[in-house]
Each structure stands twice: as C-alpha cells, then as structure tokens.
C-alpha cells in the first residue's frame, strides 16, 4: 500500500449544491489526524475520548475512527441524539465512563442549553478536561454557557474551539489550551496551516477586524488530494484566487492574530447596501436567553435589495408570540444596530441540519421562496 493510495472518499458540500467526493490518502491523512489528536486535544494514553459526530462526516472519520485507532486511545461510541432517551444523557455518559475529552458541535451545546443547567448539576463532570467544538461558528452565548455549566467555569475543563473542512482532514484554526479563549474567535493558525485573509483580487488584508476571504496558502500532509472523478473542480479551488486555496468562508482577524470565521461567503446578506454575515445575526438572536437556535436568510425586497428573515427555536418554557417577536427584534437592534433587525421572525421546533450539525440555510430559503431545494442527501434524518 502506497502512502498516496486513496484511503476513503467522502461526499460533502451537499449544503450548497452537487456533492463532491473528497479523496484522502493513507499516509498524510494519518499523520495529520494523529498529530492533532495528541498535540492539539492533548489526548493521553489513559484518557477516554468521546467524539459525538456522525461517523459519516469528516469529524467522524478523523476522530471516531482513524485518529483514536492510530493512537490506541479509549473512545466512546454512541448512536443517538444528545438528549435521548432523556435530556441528561450527555452528562450521564461523562460521569459513567469518566470522559476526559469531548468533540462536539455548537448545535449540541445549544440543544443542551434548551434544557437549562439543572441536568448538568445532577452529575459529576470533573473527569472532563477539554470540550472542543467545530462544524460552525461557536457563538459567544453558547461558549459562555458551556464554560460555566459543563466546564465548571474553568475549574476542571477548558473549551477548545477549532475550524476545518472535509478537504483539510483536520483542524487549521484553533484555541489551544495554553491560549486565552475569546468568545466569537475560533483562535489562531495551528502548526502546518498557513492561513490568511485576502480580498477578491487575492491581496492580503492586514487591517485588524476587516473581513475578507479565508484562504490556505499551501497544502499540508493531511490535505485532500483531489475530487473523485472531477479533478477540475479540485483545481478550481486553488485557482479562483491565484496561488491559494479558497475555503469559501468569510473571516476577519484581530490585532492579536485571533481569527473569527463569520460564515460561508454565500451566506453574506446585503441589506440596503450593507453586507451582514448570517452568523452575526444568528449569534445576536441566540444571545437572547429565550432562544436555543436561530437561522437567518435573505429575502428579495424591492426597496432594500434584501431583508432578513429569522427562523427561531425557543428554549423550553418560552412560547411563540408577537411579543416575543418584538422582543427579539429589539434585542438584535441593541446588539447589532437597526440595519441587522430581521424583518420577519418565524418560530419553528427544529431547524434543518446536515448530519454534521450545520444548519441548511439553503433549504430554508428554497422553502421560503418556492425554489427547488437541490441536493438534500446530507440532510439529517
């Protein structure tokens, strides 16, 4: 078996259109996933590791299957939602198996938030050392809640945020345990990942907190090698902005080098000439204590080009009402300003997500506008 022989093909990006078969190879992929498993998450020989991902997602491949096996680590396998068969099963598993490191998604944290902090108080969570999140931006409210109620306000555990993609095989940006955690900031480039932010002409953006396109300047051992059956599609990601890999995400970087990934470039709203990230509005909505989850889309508007519509899932004990709509709109106005206030808010018990936990805004928009939803093979059951 050659190091460059294909290891697996993982189809992804069903959220934006035709899925692509990302190819990872034996040698480099194993090197990268094992490196981050041992050095970024600091999984030790006697630790118990629990990755809550769907095994069919890249996180499941990398950190349920391959990295734990290569490292010889003890790992928890579980099928089912984080609140089934009861809303404290997440905490019960931590106590029962003495889990030390958890890899989950912000969606799961927000799900736990819906049930409040009482379930967490019923169990001993002190075995936990790291709670790591990826898959979508970890909004500040979810981070603070998890830090206080799952991590004991830092007494026994730290939150490790990170960003990566199916194509990268492992994390590229992250907040290592030795770094300060900054709400809303995913962290800094990890070893081997030469990250940057550029404009549409490929020029680096040096100004702090100015948004641009998130790019990778050179590949690393665990980077994907091609798109199965469509090498031109793979090459395009390295040629849309000459000389760099275009991730498709919009990000900004503060004066200390911490990155904030705002969201997908195609998730940027344009309201009356103002460009607003979907994730910014969603984070503002979720920062209200009554909200568990939120997604926003842009709707065509003759006057303003686009207006914002929000889809909101409330925490238990809160009921949909016109008063709640007004409360949430005023909350967004306070947090972000009047330009970001949703013109409409619709309450929903759940939001459509991929198996990786990413909200499928495209599906919400298609339903709202009566459009073809496109490929839905990645929609969770």
Length of the chain measured in residues: 381
Surface-to-core class of residue 238, CB atoms within 10 Å of its CB (0-12 exposed, 13-18 middle, 19+ buried): middle
Instruction: Give the pLDDT confidence score for residue 380 in this predicted structure.
Output: 67
Instruction: Give first-to-last CA distance, the chain, whole Å.
Output: 36
**Whether the Cβ atoms of residue 162 and residue 174 lie closer than 8 Å to each other:** yes
Instruction: Give the pLDDT confidence score for residue 15 in this predicted structure.
Output: 42
Rg value, the chain, Cα? 20
Instruction: Give the pLDDT confidence score for residue 14 in this predicted structure.
Output: 44
Q: Can you tell me the distance from the alpha carbon of 78 to that of 101, in angstroms, rounded to the nearest whole number?
A: 15
The distance from CA 271 to its chain's CA centroid, rounded to whole angstroms, is 25
> pTM for the whole thing?
0.76
Span 240-291, pLDDT tens digits = 888 899 998 889 999 999 999 877 776 777 676 566 778 889 989 999 999 9
Three-class secondary structure of residue 263 per DSSP: strand
Span 148-186, pLDDT tens digits = 999 999 999 999 999 999 999 999 999 988 899 888 899
Instruction: Give the pLDDT confidence score for residue 81 in this predicted structure.
Output: 82
Backbone angles phi, psi at 324, to 5 degrees: -65, -40
Instruction: Give the pLDDT confidence score for residue 287 in this predicted structure.
Output: 92
pLDDT (tens place) for every residue of the chain, 381 residues total: 899 999 999 987 544 456 789 999 999 999 999 999 999 999 999 999 999 988 888 999 999 999 999 999 999 999 888 888 999 999 999 999 999 999 998 878 988 988 999 999 999 999 999 999 987 778 788 899 999 999 999 999 999 999 999 999 999 999 988 899 888 899 999 999 999 999 988 999 999 999 899 999 999 999 999 999 999 988 888 888 888 999 988 899 999 999 998 777 767 776 765 667 788 899 899 999 999 999 999 888 766 778 899 999 999 999 999 999 999 999 999 998 888 999 999 999 999 887 767 788 888 988 888 877 766 666 665
Instruction: Give the pLDDT confidence score for residue 36 in this predicted structure.
Output: 96
């Amino acid at each position: 078996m050659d190091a460059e022989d294909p290891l697996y093909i993982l189809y992804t990006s069903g959220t934006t259109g035709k899925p692509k078969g990302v190819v990872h190879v034996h040698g480099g992929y194993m090197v990268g996933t094992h490196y981050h498993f041992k050095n970024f998450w600091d999984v030790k020989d006697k630790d118990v590791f629990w990755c809550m991902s769907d095994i069919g997602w890249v996180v499941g491949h990398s950190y349920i299957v391959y990295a734990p096996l290569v490292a010889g680590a003890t790992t928890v396998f579980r099928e089912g939602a984080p609140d089934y068969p009861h809303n404290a099963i997440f905490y019960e598993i931590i106590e029962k198996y003495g889990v030390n490191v958890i890899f989950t998604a912000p969606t799961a944290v927000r799900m736990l938030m819906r049930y409040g902090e009482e379930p967490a108080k019923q169990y001993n969570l002190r075995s936990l050392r790291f709670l790591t999140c990826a898959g979508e931006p970890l909004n500040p409210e979810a981070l603070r809640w998890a830090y206080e109620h799952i991590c004991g306000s830092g007494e026994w555990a730290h939150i490790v945020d990170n960003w990566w993609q199916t194509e990268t095989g492992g994390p590229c940006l992250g907040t290592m345990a030795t770094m300060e955690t900054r709400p809303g900031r995913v962290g800094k480039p990890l070893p081997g990942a030469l990250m940057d932010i550029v404009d549409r002409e490929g020029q680096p953006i040096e100004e702090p907190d100015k948004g641009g396109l998130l790019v990778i300047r050179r590949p690393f051992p665990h980077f994907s090698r091609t798109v199965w059956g469509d090498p031109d599609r793979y090459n395009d990601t390295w040629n849309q902005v000459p000389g760099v890999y275009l991730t498709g995400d919009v990000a900004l970087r503060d004066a200390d080098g911490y990155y904030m990934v705002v969201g997908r470039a195609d998730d940027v709203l344009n309201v009356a000439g103002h460009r607003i990230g979907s994730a910014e509005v969603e984070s503002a909505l979720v920062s209200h204590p009554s909200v568990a989850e939120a997604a926003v889309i842009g709707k065509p508007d003759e006057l303003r080009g686009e207006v914002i519509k929000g889809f909101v899932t409330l925490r238990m004990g809160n009921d949909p009402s016109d008063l709640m709509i007004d409360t949430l709109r005023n909350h967004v106005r306070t947090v972000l300003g009047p330009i970001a206030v949703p013109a409409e808010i619709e309450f929903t018990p759940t939001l459509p997500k991929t198996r990786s936990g990413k909200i499928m805004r495209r599906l919400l928009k298609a339903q709202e506008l009566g459009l073809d939803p496109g490929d839905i093979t990645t929609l969770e059951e």
